[in-house]
Amino acid sequence: MEMELVVKGGRDEETLEKYMKGVRHLCDSGLTRVPAKYILPATERPYAQGPPSNPSDLKIKLPVVDLADIHTPNRAHVLASLAEACQEHGFFQVVNHGIPAEVIEKMIDVSRRFFELPFEERSTYMSADIVAPVRYGTSFNQNRDGVFCWRDFLKLSCHPLSRTLPLWPTSPADLRERAVSYSKHIKGLFMELMEAVLETLEVDTGPVMEEFGEGIQMMVVNFYPACPEPDLTLGMPPHSDFGFLTLLLQDGVSGLQIEQKGEWVTADLAAGALVVNVGDHLEIFSNGRYKSLLHRVTVNTAQPRMSVACLLGLAADGVVRPSPQLVDDDNPRRYMDTDFATFLQYVSSRETKGKNFLESRMLRS
């Protein structure tokens, strides 16, 4: 098997260095098989229970929240659909979200061109430091992952732009302009959605919305190359997201899967929709009413896949706790306080599995 050197009792340094350069670099070397470093244990592979007899049976249409009427007398109807989506599904898609199609198309286009740059240009931003405001990396957490996943990524911290923008890549030449435009539209959409989410929870919106205004905004551009043996690996392993909401833009290539009732189902999306999912911090804030869900990404042999995930929430030093308005004798507090620093310390010290960080913040009765 090509590029699959494994040394018992140690690691082949040259091979490990190739892994750390990312999947795109490996693929450019002419892979025909998946290296051992990317092969999951049999029970964790995409079709551990065998491939579905009818793949369409494992596709779902995510609930649609139409924002066209969010500022009209029909607002109550929009809020009802949003509350149901958050409480019953954890994932939904938004349409009529107000982000121009041109802004979206330009963001996908410039993201694709970044990953088409020569490795020497991309590698300028490579870092194993998970707190770096700009970071090009691979896998999920390349410092801790026992098995790497079939993904390269570019992480851009978007707040405050005055401090982080000078650190962003300068190539392609239009990356900064396009990514800034997209990030500003996303922040506006997040603020609109969170105001509505807080209203569905019937909690005071003012203080929290002020905190969101200066809150964290992380943009992660994901690239999943075509894979010669997609049944052996994953683009991303099962995980939940930190933050309050994640807003996801995809290039139209299927791959996002969500765990529902013990089964992995592929999200079937409406044209022009953005995917939104509940994050761990919203689960904590809502005292468990709205729950983050496990999701993963599969890969395929035919074509690469691009996505842009924006994770937003409170400021890095902000404390997340259950809203006092959602805690009473019938609904006791279910989570301890947390903050972004605690999350970073946790994920940097161990391999991330499922929702293990959130589970570490749960109060045991």
pTM given for the model: 0.92
Burial of 333 (0-12, 13-18, 19+ CB in 10 A): middle
- Give the list of residues 6+ apart from residue 322 with CB closer than 8 angstroms, or none: 284, 285, 286, 287, 333, 334, 335
Q: What domain count does the chain have?
A: 1
Beta-carbon count within 10 A of 59 CB? 14
> What are the tens digits of pLDDT across the range 115-127?
999 999 999 999 8
Residue 20 in domain: yes
Report which of 193, 210, 358 is spatially closest to residue 285, judged by C-alpha positions: 358
Q: What are the two backbone dihedrals, phi and then psi, of residue 318, each rounded to the nearest 5 degrees?
A: -75, 145
In the prediction, which pLDDT does 347 show? 76
Amino acid, res. 177: E
Helix (H, G, I), strand (E, B) or coil at 154: strand
Residue 5 in domain: no
Beta-carbon count within 10 A of 156 CB? 25
Residue 98 in domain: yes
Furthest CA-CA distance within the chain: 67
Residue 8 in domain: no
Tokens (6 digits) for 280:
């761990």
> Distance (Å, rounded) from C-alpha 260 to C-alpha 238?
12
In the prediction, which pLDDT does 9 show? 36
In the prediction, which pLDDT does 236 show? 95
CATH code of the domain containing 280: 2.60.120.330
In the prediction, which pLDDT does 31 show? 86
In the prediction, which pLDDT does 350 show? 66
Whether 312 and 241 have beta carbons less than 8 Å apart is answered as no
Number of Cα atoms under 13 Å in the Cβ half of residue 43 = 0
Cα–chain center distance at 4: 29
Whether 216 and 340 have beta carbons less than 8 Å apart is answered as yes
Burial of 312 (0-12, 13-18, 19+ CB in 10 A): buried
In the prediction, which pLDDT does 60 show? 85
Pairing mode of beta strands 236-239, 295-297: antiparallel
Whether 245 and 312 have beta carbons less than 8 Å apart is answered as yes
Give the structural domain span for 278. 13-360
In the prediction, which pLDDT does 8 show? 35
> Distance (Å, rounded) from C-alpha 25 to C-alpha 322?
44
Residue 3 in domain: no
> Distance (Å, rounded) from C-alpha 132 to C-alpha 153?
13
- β-bridge partners, 223: 152, 306
Report which of 28, 34, 58, 89 is spatially closest to residue 234, judged by C-alpha positions: 34
Report which of 65, 312, 358 is spatially closest to residue 200, judged by C-alpha positions: 65
Residues of the chain below pLDDT 70: 1-16, 49-57, 349-352, 365
> What are the tens digits of pLDDT across the range 236-287?
999 999 999 999 999 989 899 999 888 899 998 888 899 999 999 999 999 9
Residue 2 in domain: no
Pairing mode of beta strands 91-95, 134-138: unpaired
Report which of 307, 303, 31, 299 is spatially closest to residue 154, judged by C-alpha positions: 307
In the prediction, which pLDDT does 87 show? 96
Q: How far apart are the first and last CA of the chain?
A: 51
> Distance (Å, rounded) from C-alpha 137 to C-alpha 151?
9
Residue 4 in domain: no
- β-bridge partners, 222: 153, 307
In the prediction, which pLDDT does 51 show? 60
Residue 53 in domain: yes
Q: What are the two backbone dihedrals, phi and then psi, of residue 275, each rounded to the nearest 5 degrees?
A: -90, 135
